[in-house]
Amino acid sequence: MDPTPLNAPTVLLIAGPTASGKSALALRAAEAVDGEIVGADALQIYRDLPLLSAQPSAGELARVPHHLVGTVDGADGWSVGRWLTAATAALADIAARGRPAVVVGGTGLYFRALTQGLAEIPAVPPEAREEAARTFDLLGEDAFRAALADRDPAAAARIAPGDRQRLSRAFEVALATGRALSDWQADAAPPPLPAGAWRAVALDPPRQALYARCDARLEAMLAQGVLDEVRALVARGLDPALPVMKAVGVREFAAHLAGALALDEALSLAQQETRRYAKRQATWLRNQTPDWPRVAGLDPEAQWRQFFALNPGLTRHA
């Protein structure tokens, strides 16, 4: 993709798996261009889990204006569509002030909606979801993928191995609507950010180093009081199906608070789930954004040098 000059309002996209350093890189980039940050993280948007979702600190939030970070109550479950509407409005406001925007997060679907548009897919009834789950359990992934190929060959070919969630989603949409999910997506509305209006990087650190950072960060979260955060969330009695209740670590630490797990067991399980989550995010980015330039490593200074080299127009305050 061709870079766009920073002498006009510009949107920079920074995506990466959890614990990869994307928030710090985005903060530095926003300060360099005198811009504002828009969160693209499905969990950081909720105000209930600032520690567990690794939201920017109060000091970091004060350095650069942030949008869609810690602004939504956990009882109000947001969809991709709601985020897209809010993000589009935030980007328009930032552009109207003549400032660049840095969109940062780990939720790949948010970036895809911004740059490719979002299809208006009818709601899928529970019966279709349940049938898709039963079929997957009965057939296993390979046979399920073959069955999906009869209904949606494009999705069956596109979805990465091991991604049960998206395989099942494609199957249930085809089952419920009689039309392939790929066809619905092809009819998506024009994206809020058309080609040429943005530039992007994806953070792609070494896997084992990333896992080690995930483990260490959860240990630090415990020291900072994440159990109190989870305790307060559980005390609200929210619907377990809400996104905030599915945040990695909530189930494990809630089990400890209920006396079902020792703290070291809960921590170990939460670390394992965080590593799996990071792997899924990294896999999605590799498969869905192959043309985005990569920033490797975990050292903040090395990341900045790579980012700056990829974006030579960053000259305002860099």
Q: What is the pTM of this model?
A: 0.82
Per-residue tokens: 32: 């360099």
What are the tokens at 131? 């049938």
Q: How many helices (H) and strands (E) does the chain have?
A: 13, 6
Above 90 in pLDDT, residue 162? no
Domains of the chain, first to last:
11-118+190-310 (3.40.50.300), 126-186 (1.10.20.140)
**pLDDT tens digits, 174-227:** 999 999 999 987 887 788 998 888 999 999 999 999 999 999 999 999 999 999
Residue listed under structure tokens 């009834």: 125
- Average pLDDT over the chain reads 92
**pLDDT of 4 strictly over 90:** no
Output the pLDDT for position 42.
Answer: 96
Which DSSP letter does residue 46 get? B
Mean pLDDT value across residues 147-160: 94
Is residue 80 classed as helix, strand or coil in its secondary structure?
Answer: helix
Percent of the chain scored above 90 by pLDDT? Answer: 80
- pLDDT value at residue 1: 35
pLDDT digits (tens, 9 = 90+) for 96-106: 999 999 999 99
